[in-house]
Structure 1
Amino acid sequence: MAKIALNKSSLNREKRNLKTFNRYLPALELKRQQLMAERKKAEDAVREARERIEQIEKDVSEQLPMLACEDINVEGLVRVTNVVLGEQNIVGTTVPVVEKVEVEVAQYSYLTKPHWVDFLVERLKEMVELHVEMLVRELRYQEISKATRTTSQRVNLFSKVLIPRSNKNIAKIKIFMSDMDRAAVVNAKISKTKMAS
């Protein structure tokens, strides 16, 4: 920390800094609270996507035990052809959002495949879309967490370092200037006494 000049201009500068810090701190605190709420929502969205994927897997395993039969090839029935992502601004932080997921279903013969393959294809489409959605939700969560961490660091910098330092510097300058004023008064009295004698 640089040594502070103990004069009136330094005092005014420190007072201006303190005023600025106190003006921005509430806005930063509000941003941090909003980001924390958004982070909680993002965390819930990731958990919800995971639970939906698990539920689909459970439904498929319960309703289609015949998938264990390796004679029927169900590989490559569904694949993602395109994912369109957009951007959303959350309290100054840009995060991705899924706008569209395009899924392609491979052609298969209804005569050579069992009837339950249609049900499987629908579940696979839903599962693929959910996986893409979950990946984007996880990315959103990471971005919001990073922004929350940065904003929290700034709040701590203002509230625990800059504001206390400015208050301390102001007090130090005021004490020094008060001492100098007292010394000037004492010197004036001494001079007056010497002149009178």
Structure 2
Amino acid sequence: MKKVKLTKPELKKQKDSLKRFQRYLPTLQIKKQLLQLEMGRILRDIKEINGEIARIKESINPWAGYLAQGIDLSQLLVIDGIETKKVNVTGVDIPVFVAAHIHIEEYDLFEYPLWVDKALEILQALVILTARRIILEAQFRLLSVELQITSQRVNLFEKVKIPEAENAIKKISIHMAEQMATAVGWARIARKKIQAQERK
């Protein structure tokens, strides 16, 4: 803590600072809570997507051996792009999944086995789920950084700035009270001397 001047202007400055810190602190605390709630929701969404992916993978186990037949499905399933938009959450711009633009190339139904249709449908679902998960993970990372900054500010205000201002106000107030008491004492002594002079 820097050295505090024991003056009236410094007392006013410290009181103003304390009011400002006490006004901003609740806003920061609310922001911290909102970030934590949003991050909790994101984690639940990621868990749900992981569950869906696991269920899909489990459902294809009985016929997964067909995929070893050397048919390259990546030539048939084309990802044109993942569309996102920016949304502001408690002061942070985060990406939000809008759509996965995927198309299936035309192929000769007589040239490919029957299971290819179902495999492409499942792969398309897996691509969409994976894209959603990647975007949710990006949201979580961005909000984590903001939560860390906000938590540091809350701690700074709660543990440093507010106690420093309160201590400075207390110190200045005590000093000024002592100065006033000393001034009153000196005034009494001066009055007594004046009265003693007048009696002579």
1:73/1:26 Cα in 2 relative to 1: closer, same or farther (>3 Å)? closer
2: CA distance, partners of 1:124 / 1:117: 10
Give the equivalent residue in structure 2 for 1:179.
178
2: CA distance, partners of 1:43 / 1:145: 12
* Deviation per residue, 1:56-87 (Å, 9 max, x gap): 222222343322333x4434321211222101
* Deviation per residue, 1:2-43 (Å, 9 max, x gap): 321101111111111111111111111111111100010111
Give the equivalent residue in structure 2 for 1:18.
18
1: CA distance, partners of 2:88 / 2:101: 24
Q: Could you tell me which amino acid in structure 1 is paired with residue 6 of structure 2?
A: L
Superposition map of 1:1-197 within 5 A: 1-70=1-70, 72-197=71-196
Identity %: 32
1:113/1:165 Cα in 2 relative to 1: closer, same or farther (>3 Å)? same
1: CA distance, partners of 2:73 / 2:7: 82
Question: How many positions carry a matched residue from both structures?
Answer: 196
1: CA distance, partners of 2:75 / 2:51: 24
User: 133-142 or 47-56, which moves further after superposition?
Assistant: 47-56
Cα shift at 1:194: 2.7
Contact 1:31 1:91 in 2 (8 A): yes
Contact 1:34 1:91 in 2 (8 A): yes
1: CA distance, partners of 2:86 / 2:63: 38
Contact 1:28 1:151 in 2 (8 A): yes
1: CA distance, partners of 2:22 / 2:137: 35
Q: Could you tell me which amino acid in structure 2 is paired with residue 65 of structure 1?
A: G
Cα shift at 1:167: 0.4
Contact 1:79 1:128 in 2 (8 A): no
2: CA distance, partners of 1:74 / 1:83: 19
Cα shift at 1:107: 2.6
TM-score by length of 1: 0.93
1: CA distance, partners of 2:65 / 2:154: 55
TM-score by length of 2: 0.91
Q: Could you tell me which amino acid in structure 2 is paired with residue 30 of structure 1?
A: I
User: 183-192 or 26-35, which moves further after superposition?
Assistant: 183-192
Cα shift at 1:196: 3.1
Q: Could you tell me which amino acid in structure 2 is paired with residue 175 of structure 1?
A: I
Secondary structure, aligned partner of 1:64: helix
Gaps of 5+ in 1: none
2: CA distance, partners of 1:75 / 1:34: 41
1: CA distance, partners of 2:48 / 2:143: 17
Contact 1:64 1:116 in 2 (8 A): no
Secondary structure, aligned partner of 2:73: coil
